[in-house]
Amino acid sequence: MNGDGALHREVLDRADVGFGVTDADGTLAWVNPALAEILGVGVDHVVGRSLPALLPGAPDRPRPGLALLTPSAYRKGHRWLEVTCQRFDSGSGSGSDSGSGGELLYRVVDVTAWRDRELEATHEADALRRAQVLGRMGTWEWHIAEDRVVWSDTLLELFGFPPDTQLDFDTYAALVHPDDLPMIQATLQEAMRSGAGFSYTHRMTLADRHTERWFECFGEIVADEDGAPQRVLGTAHDITRARRVHDELLALAEQDPLTGLANRRAVTRELERQLATGPGAMLLLDLDNFKDVNDLRGHAVGDRLMKALAAALRSRLDPSRLIGRLGGDEFAVVLPGCALADAAVVAEELRDAVAALPLVGAASRTTVSTGVAEYGPGDTWELVLANADLALYASKAAGRNRVTVYEPGHYADTAKRVSVLDRLRAALDNGALALHAMPMVQLATGKTLGHELLLRLEDGQEPYLGPAEFLPEAERSNLVLDIDRWVLSTAIDALVRHPDPELRFNVNISGRTLEDEDFGGFVLDRLATAGVAPGRLGLEITETAAVTNLDAARALAMQLRGFGCRITLDDFGSGFGSFVHLKHLPITGIKIDGEFVRGIDERSTDAVLVAGIVQIARGLGLSAVAEWVERPAQVEALMRLGVRVGQGFHLGRPIPLTQVLSAQPLPPNGALSPRPVGAEDRARS
């Protein structure tokens, strides 16, 4: 071999690409070490054999090909080999000292890594497409310099177009809801300016120009080395179904179940929104002597009156003006852009409309007292509501059935409320607060399973204040935080003095206390110090408080339930918002709102709703207690629906906690003289 041949031989011996030369009979006359390594045998075992015999699928004549090498003992796993074969020219000096026209040159390259990456990319692309189809999501890419948008086939299909459709931005923009397009353009411009990621949600019409869909989009900017935007990458997710469910649940959570009007939460939210847009006015309307209707004519008549009143108010107000029921017999109307004098005229028209209502089982005509307050820049919804409330109190004090416009002099009326807080503070300091216990009874046996503790003010002063009169004032101030801690401490002290494990108490927690981050630790410290089993103590949180303070309610429930305390959602179903949050609140039980129990033996709709609530409770492993059980027929109806525990005046009235602890016999069921049930009796601590 000449010098050039020796040099070429040395290069080929060091190469990582396999080379081999056959003789005229097709057997390998020479191979380099790389080929032997690829084949997994020594060089001596390769020379003298044909390559197709060593490597099944290798060509036996000059042609390119691709073969898969099966696993061998030398090298585990599969390999992809690119094998080429060509006539060998011995004069080229490529590895063999001599050759003939029948000699072949094999070149074998291990392309496993490249081929696996290619297959992996293909699989990932297929998986991405399947994921996009299943997730109703597609991708898009905007090449800024070319002003060209490339849409994935999945996204085109979501838009209602066939795959590979050439969809330019102008055509896409024409499909976007006109109210949303400026927001999209502004978002993209800001993203290109800042280089930050972006997101937006918009509506658009599909290719049929009829079907509307909601899309949620996320994206990022790809810039060059100088920071100039080159491309915009984005995803679009069809969230139409989720949006519809969200809107339906939001409507339920912000709707009064009796009248169909907006509830307190929706009214305050709308008022807050209007405060940011301009001046206006608010009306507060309260039905006069509504308690007498309930007590004398029954709650069914009261419900019909509420519905008739709601219909009358709605029919006389423009749809742009929100009307809502704040609770009980109190309604609110938000009048954006309305001057105070005009708002007073609207209030008088509504008052006259209510007075003209046909009698709905009441002994006399229906009248309503109204307070009017204006709002403007710098006001808060709390201030507006408080001012309208003061004007409403003035209407009541002046003889009812009248409209009063708020004026600063009404602040004098707040002196009465201040006196209530003063009495509460003094009672808390001087031991003039007391707890009454209302039994929770097993319906089938009449056995008392526990007691709900209710707060009473027993300071001996006149006038007497019931829970319905002093608790709202306490909840408007931080005094309620101290009261809730006193109630809980008193309950734990009683459990310490009476270690009977069957003695169990439920205490009510205000919405303000939910926001007290130290309250959970306070409860656990008191239980640990007293040595009381946490399961003997239960905390009740109203649905309204839980929905309004969802994060705080969840945090407190998780902390206390983790140590064994019982957590009950009170007044369950009163606004339907609780159904949305049940899976997020780690509670142990629910109390079915009395609005559903009150007519359960008379109205099939109430029975259907209670049956659904019971089924949900069982499915989630929650206990269920029915409230407002006031007559035997309700007990029978509840038991048929699977409700096992109830509380109400028929099962046992509230009595002083000291009487329960002294082990005096409780009055037998039904032994107490019946009387109408008022809101004050149902007030919770």
Dump pLDDT digits (tens) for 180-194: 999 999 999 999 999
- Looking at the fold, whether 106 and 140 belong to one and the same domain comes out as no
Q: How sure is the predictor about 676, in pLDDT bands with cuts at 50, 70 and 90?
A: very low
* Mean pLDDT of all residues belonging to the chain: 82
- Looking at the fold, whether 313 and 217 belong to one and the same domain comes out as no
Kindly state whether residue 564 falls inside one of the protein's structural domains.
yes
Torsion of CA 335, 338, 343, 345, to 10 degrees: -120
Query: CB burial class (10 A; 0-12, 13-18, 19+) of residue 187?
Result: middle
User: pLDDT at residue 173 above 70?
Assistant: yes
Least confident of 541-545, 576-580, 600-604, 650-654: 576-580
- Looking at the fold, whether 168 and 201 belong to one and the same domain comes out as yes
Distance in angstroms (rounded) separating the CA atoms of residues 638 and 620: 19
Portion of the chain with pLDDT greater than 70, in percent: 82
Which structure tokens are listed for 242?
């989720």
Q: How sure is the predictor about 1, in pLDDT bands with cuts at 50, 70 and 90?
A: very low
User: pLDDT at residue 330 above 60?
Assistant: yes
Portion of the chain with pLDDT greater than 90, in percent: 32
User: pLDDT at residue 129 above 70?
Assistant: no
pLDDT on residue 5 = 59
Question: Which pLDDT tens digit goes with each residue over 548-566?
Answer: 677 788 889 999 988 899 9
Least confident of 237-246, 458-467, 553-562: 237-246
Check which CATH number belongs to the domain holding 266 and give it: 3.30.70.270
Which structure tokens are listed for 155?
């996204």
Cis ω for the linkage preceding 439 (within 30 of 0) = no
User: pLDDT at residue 258 above 70?
Assistant: yes
Other residues' Cβ atoms within 10 Å of the Cβ of residue 407:
12
Residue 142, classed as helix, strand or coil, is: strand
Check which CATH number belongs to the domain holding 58 and give it: 3.30.450.20
pLDDT on residue 401 = 87
- Looking at the fold, whether 556 and 608 belong to one and the same domain comes out as yes
Q: How sure is the predictor about 681, in pLDDT bands with cuts at 50, 70 and 90?
A: very low
Return the HEC string of 203-270: EEECCCCCCEEEEEEEEEEEECCCCCEEEEEEEEEECHHHHHHHHHHHHHHCECCCCCCECHHHHHHH
Q: What is the CA radius of gyration of the chain?
A: 40
Point out the domain boundary residue: 78, 110, 142: 110
- Looking at the fold, whether 185 and 312 belong to one and the same domain comes out as no
Expressed as residue numbers, the domain containing 376 is 258-406
Average pLDDT over residues 452-459: 94
CA–CA–CA angle 67, 73, 78 (5° rounding): 35
What pTM value is reported for the model?
0.45
Which residues, at least 6 apart from 570, have a Cβ–Cβ distance to it below 8 Å? 508, 540, 541, 542, 543, 591, 684
pLDDT on residue 94 = 41
Kindly state whether residue 419 falls inside one of the protein's structural domains.
no
- Looking at the fold, whether 570 and 652 belong to one and the same domain comes out as yes
Q: How sure is the predictor about 477, in pLDDT bands with cuts at 50, 70 and 90?
A: confident
Walk across the sheet containing 403-405 and list its strands.
322-327, 330-336, 280-287, 368-375, 403-405
Question: Which pLDDT tens digit goes with each residue over 345-398?
Answer: 999 999 888 888 876 554 456 888 999 999 988 888 888 888 898 898 888 877
User: pLDDT at residue 454 above 90?
Assistant: yes
User: pLDDT at residue 675 above 50?
Assistant: no
Point out the domain boundary residue: 110, 140, 171: 110
